[in-house]
Amino acid sequence: MKAAVDQNGNGDAVFNVKNYGAKADGKTDDAQAFMTTWIAACRNTSGPAKFLIPEGTFLVGPVVFAGPCQSRPITIEIQGTVKATTDITQYSSTEWISIEDIIGFILTGSGVFDGQGAAAWPYNDCKTNNKCQALPNSIKFSKVNHSIVDGLTSINSKGFHTTVFRCYNFTATNMNIMAPGNSPNTDGMHLSTSTLISISNGVIGTGDDCVSIGHSCEKVTVTNITCGPGHGISVGSLGKYKTERSVLDVLVQNCTLFNTTNGVRIKTWAGLVTGSAMRITFDNIVMDKVKNPIIIDQTYGTKKNKASKWKISDVHFKNIRGTSTTNVAVLLECSELFPCEGVELRDINLSYGGASLRNTTTVSSCLNAKIKTFGEQNPPACV
């Protein structure tokens, strides 16, 4: 029998899921074999460990990869295709794969995580049901610190593709995340309660936000992302839950968005929760047929005449250019209670690229926003 643990050229102990009973036949649920492999790798005391998913197709139900681990760093390398089971009654948690409580984690490899979401999307009734049951997200990183995700490919998640929660010093690069534009709530990467997060060099196209930066996040950079289809790159939504804290120091830079319903957006709920979003910069962004290229929406998710209690300030839209499929290319709709302050518009050039042949002008629309303008302003800025 082949030894359960091999050594690779780097001296890492390699734990191959096939050596722990994974069938890789695309039919047998290999979740237990994955969990057994993880426990062995996590408990490895001889230095770094690698959890290896080799070539092949692995059907896997819900799994939890939990630390703390004795091996550091611990790496998951995916070479094959991991497919989620499609029976949503199996999922007692809101995740398919939960990675949690680890210091020094690496996820890498050329393989694919396939959420097989098409079978579950018809069960998403959140547009009409306020008490809807969220479909399971593909991968949740929770309390995963000093970590790198490099080369992740995720397709057709049931819910969000990835969520990052309570993480510190977390880098995600070279991601390829895809789901159809009409797939519900399939955000590419959603952040919350996390600090020092870097997302770079990825291609993301989904049925919701490509990247959403939720509450209680600080020091977030999003660079060189190609986004589309989807709902754009968003800060928010904010202000829905009482436990939320402010969002500070966000940089979104050198990104391209195409065929999205929004471009760069800040969105807050109207309601009881207070907070602030400040020191946020969107710089060097290309829009290609984007519905709402620049938008602050402080009436998100409400039809009642309520004002948001979130304060938005020190926001910079710089060097944003391309085409808008609507005439209102810049929409700044801020709170009546807490008007937006320190909003900079610098070198904006957004021409009309929609279907109408009659009205091909673009305009700005502002409410309760204190803005400063520099350089080119197309459309003309609000007075």
Q: How far apart, in whole angstroms, are the C-alpha atoms of residue 265 and residue 227?
A: 13
Q: Are strands 195-205 and 369-378 parallel, antiparallel or unpaired?
A: unpaired
225's tokens: 């992302």
Q: Which residue has the tokens 């009205």?
A: 359
267's tokens: 């969105």
Active site residue 161: no
DSSP lists the bridge partners of residue 16 as 52
- Cβ contact 147:102 at 8 Å: yes
Q: How far apart, in whole angstroms, are the C-alpha atoms of residue 78 and residue 63?
A: 15
Task: Fill in the amino acid letter for 277.
Answer: A
Q: How far apart, in whole angstroms, are the C-alpha atoms of residue 279 and residue 264?
A: 15
Q: How far apart, in whole angstroms, are the C-alpha atoms of residue 15 and residue 19?
A: 8
Catalytic residue among 161, 190, 215, 231: 231
DSSP lists the bridge partners of residue 307 as none
Task: Fill in the amino acid letter for 63.
Answer: V
Q: How far apart, in whole angstroms, are the C-alpha atoms of residue 47 and residue 50?
A: 10
217's tokens: 């996040």
226's tokens: 């190609």
Active-site residues, by number, are 231
